Amino acid sequence: MDDTTTRPFRQFYKAYGMAPSAKGEAPGRVNLIGEHTDYNDGFVLPTAIPQKTFIEISRRSDDQVHLFSSDIGPDGEQHSYRLGSERPLHRWFDYFQGVTWLLRQKGFAISGFNLVAHSDIPMGAGLSSSAALLVALFRTFRDQFQLELSDVEIALMSQDVENNFVGAHVGIMDQMASSLADRGTALFLDTQSLNFERIGLPDNDVDIFVINSGVKHSHSTSGYNTRRRECEEACRLLGVKSLRSVENLEDVLKIADPFRSRARHVVSENLRVIDAVKAIEERDLVTLGRLMIESHASMRDDYKISVPEIDLLVKIALSHVEVYGARLTGGGFGGSIVGICQHGTARRICEAIADRYQRETEYHATILVPEAVH
């Protein structure tokens, strides 16, 4: 955190007579391919992005909790509560309350605390800002209260908070990516077994770029939960426990739409992830790009989670000959695109994409990867 960011934190420290005794952080993620497969026991391929969430904490001797987030409103926002009084209020502090609620539910001994949070992951951009917050919180509590928690357990508990306290029925990809992924590799994750492998990215041959459309989405209020229910109904109609069990695309033709289309996306997307891993290992960027393009078409036409602005960003990106592929990334209904292009061309191409996008829509696109050179 830079000096500008820490200034309001110092005011918070002074108000509560505290200095941080533990710190934690966690990165956002971009999913290269494998969308809406995680809650269907499928395969995903995310990687970490430079943007992170940062937490600082100071332990108290009572059961009071005082929070400050610099990301809410122009001057930040505070909230206080007592341990044991947590209840969802559909506000930003639900994530913090959810963590202390779950830790106490599982028998971990924690006291009250003062906590400050800051993130440079844009909210509603489909880059896992909520998962990064939760992972950063659990990491900080692990250090502050000497909790026996593995990185995988932190991911699972972060998902538990989202599912059972915040009310967003998300899969496990975001939390596993934020807890385990790093830059320079892709996390090839089997969400059924939680087995994972880090696949080295061909950084010398390709650039990854991420552009935020400016159209915000929310897991707890968007069509995300609807898509999950439609997948569950598709499973019932097909007589399977999860869509991971369906290996033949012809099988999904037996059921009616919209369940057929939803299942077709998930089954075909799992196959694309497997092929994408092979393409990365073989440095076959043309095939990887084609798979990303096919993935976007599937999300747009079968899963119906894209929006016109995202489709336009992808179209503009693909108009550049240096771009191998581009697609919607994240939960959908807004958010960001991810793409791959020839090494050394990403900054120039992204600036051209953002400029044209702004001229053709009412939104301002933000280039997140590659980071601007200061």
- Positions annotated as catalytic residues are 174
Quickly count: other Cβ atoms within 10 Å of residue 15's Cβ. Answer: 12
Q: Are 178 and 155 in contact (CB under 8 A)?
A: yes
DSSP state of 139: H
- Residue 258 to residues 82, 139, 226, 255: CA-CA distances in angstroms? 45, 40, 11, 9
**Residue 103: both structure tokens together:** 């830790």
Torsion angle of the four alpha carbons 243, 196, 292, 175, in this order, in degrees rounded to the nearest 10 = 80
SS3 of 182-229: CCCEEEEEECCCCCEEEEECCCCCEEEEEEECCCCCCCCCCCHHHHHH
E-strand stretches of the chain:
22-33, 43-59, 64-69, 77-82, 113-119, 185-190, 196-200, 206-212, 323-329, 336-342, 366-369
The pairing of beta strand 64-69 with beta strand 185-190: unpaired
Quickly count: other Cβ atoms within 10 Å of residue 244's Cβ. Answer: 19
Can you tell me the distance from the alpha carbon of 51 to that of 183, in angstroms, rounded to the nearest whole number?
11
Can you tell me the distance from the alpha carbon of 67 to that of 163, in angstroms, rounded to the nearest whole number?
22
| Helix, strand or coil, per DSSP, at residue 304 | coil
Sign of CA dihedral 99, 103, 104, 109: negative
Can you tell me the distance from the alpha carbon of 65 to that of 70, in angstroms, rounded to the nearest whole number?
17
